[in-house]
Amino acid sequence: MTVIRQQDLIQSVADSLQYIRYHHPLDYITALGRAYELEQSVAARGATTQILTNNRMAAEGRRPVCQDTQKLQVRELASPWQQND
């Protein structure tokens, strides 16, 4: 049986949460790019350009995509299978 150390799990979750703060899924970005290509309205193309630019800047600068994703609170809960050391 594979043993997963608690610290490894904590680090993995922390890294994942940081990643999703400044990256949208590839299918979302691809769909926005396609929408831009098909859009005929100058204003809508401008808005889509801004969204794509903001996403690129967030990913490159490792900054949150939006203010709502800046903070996350995690509460540790004791698991029923946790071993007492």
% of the chain residues with pLDDT over 90: 32
48: which 2 tokens?
A: 């889509």
pTM of the model: 0.62
Alpha carbon distance 57, 48 (integer Å)? 14
Query: What are 24-62's pLDDT values in tens digits?
Result: 889 999 999 999 999 999 999 999 999 999 889 888 887
- 8 or 68, greater pLDDT: 8
Degrees, nearest 5: CA angle 59-65-68: 155
Q: Quick check: 22 and 9 in contact, CB under 8 A?
A: no
Q: Confirm if 78 and 72 have CB atoms less than 8 A apart.
A: no
Instruction: Tell me the helices (H) and strands (E) count for the chain, helix number first.
Output: 3, 0
